[in-house]
Amino acid sequence: MTAYAPARTAPPYAVVVPTLGRPSLSRCLAALAASSGPKPVRVVLVDDRPRAGAAPLPVEVPASLRGVTVTVPGGGRGPAAARNTGRREAGGVAHWIVFLDDDVLPGPEWGEELARDLAAASERTGGISARITVPLPGDRRPTDWERGTAGLATARWITADMAYRPEVLDAVGGFDERFRRAFREDADLALRVLDAGWSLDEGLRRTTHPVRPADRWVSVRQQAGNADDVLMNRLHGSGWWSRASAPRGRLPRHLLVTGAAAGAVSCAVIGRRRAAVACATGWLAGTAEFAGARIAPGPRTRQEVLSMAVTSVLIPPVATWHWLRGQLRHRGALPWRPRPEAAAARAPRTPLRERVPR
């Protein structure tokens, strides 16, 4: 682990928070205001509700931040576009832009720790990530949704709390607005920054990401991310998984299980009963294995078991649908190639590996 000395002078920084007006936004700003250390020179709240402006953003801004906080409409185009809107609004007033999600809680010493992170950055540092903590129940096993959220604690470069130099964002074109969900847009940006010759450091500031409430269908809705993975493959090649330390997931198995289900129905329609039974058996075995893998590490309550059983039937075909949708939608996407001018004058001209503190 790298030990940073206290920062004598903190570079001015702005905070950009895309939001849908959830109650967690007020808690996020309260934690930001309460943290020790230098305060942001500007806080930009990007109201990304589809009808932003029709009603005031439901948020309570702490008194210490009111003078520097502005709210701008995002247009309901997703977090990547909202962050681009926010960085343009914050441009020219700060040496760094810190992106926060509206459901995180900066730690009590966050401002001071951020100042140390920024002061320790070298001239080749393009971005600095935070250390994310996801609190889990101590009296029972976590649910499937809670385990999924806990993965944010080990995810790299996530914009739950990620600082970038504005000139780096400008050099690589900011966030790719084809990513309409809060998924993969942060990894895509980080890989482009690395390819442009900058480094990405792991900071010491600490931020908590609570597990927000979710219904039983959240895991089904998350399968839309398979279309984003198609775009990542187009932009960065199949090697992006290892570069970003991203888990590969179960898409190949979902495709097989869905194919078995389709085969069972097709064979039954044309009267090939043995083939239909064989395909149906394969579908049942694959679905049972998937459900068991999700149920075993969880609390195994009646509600959780029922949710896992039902959603394990739905997830494979939904994942397949979104993967096919991504193949069609992003069929014309070209591989990312950094422009010669994307490498800033003070950045090295060859790609670097990100620096990870020991």
Q: Per-residue pLDDT tens for 148-192?
A: 999 999 999 999 999 999 999 999 999 999 999 999 999 999 999
How far apart are alpha carbons 117 and 255 in whole angstroms? 43
pLDDT at residue 2, as a whole number: 44
How far apart are alpha carbons 311 and 152 in whole angstroms? 22
Q: How does pLDDT run across 201-256, given as a tens digit for each residue? A: 999 999 999 999 999 999 999 999 999 999 999 999 999 999 999 998 999 999 99
pLDDT at residue 338, as a whole number: 82
Is residue 105 predicted with pLDDT exceeding 60? yes
Going from the C-alpha of 96 to that of each of 92, 121, 138, the distances in angstroms are 10, 11, 37
Is residue 339 predicted with pLDDT exceeding 80? no
Mean of the pLDDT values across residues 16-39? 97
Is residue 353 predicted with pLDDT exceeding 80? no
Mean of the pLDDT values across residues 73-80? 94
pLDDT at residue 319, as a whole number: 98
Mean of the pLDDT values across residues 59-84? 96
pLDDT at residue 51, as a whole number: 80
Model confidence pTM above 0.85: yes
| 343: its two tokens | 């490498």
Least confident stretch, 108-112, 154-158, 252-256, 319-323: 154-158
Mean of the pLDDT values across residues 64-73? 96
How far apart are alpha carbons 168 and 189 in whole angstroms? 10
Residues 42/67, Cβ–Cβ less than 8 Å = no
% the chain with pLDDT above 70: 92
Query: Would you give the distance in Å from CA 219 to the centre of its chain?
Result: 15
pLDDT mean across residues, the chain:
92
Q: How does pLDDT run across 90-101, given as a tens digit for each residue? A: 978 899 999 999
- Per-residue confidence band for 343, with pLDDT thresholds at 50, 70 and 90: low
The answer for 307, left when phi > 0, alpha when psi is -120 to 50, beta otherwise, is alpha
Mean of the pLDDT values across residues 30-38? 97
pLDDT at residue 347, as a whole number: 46
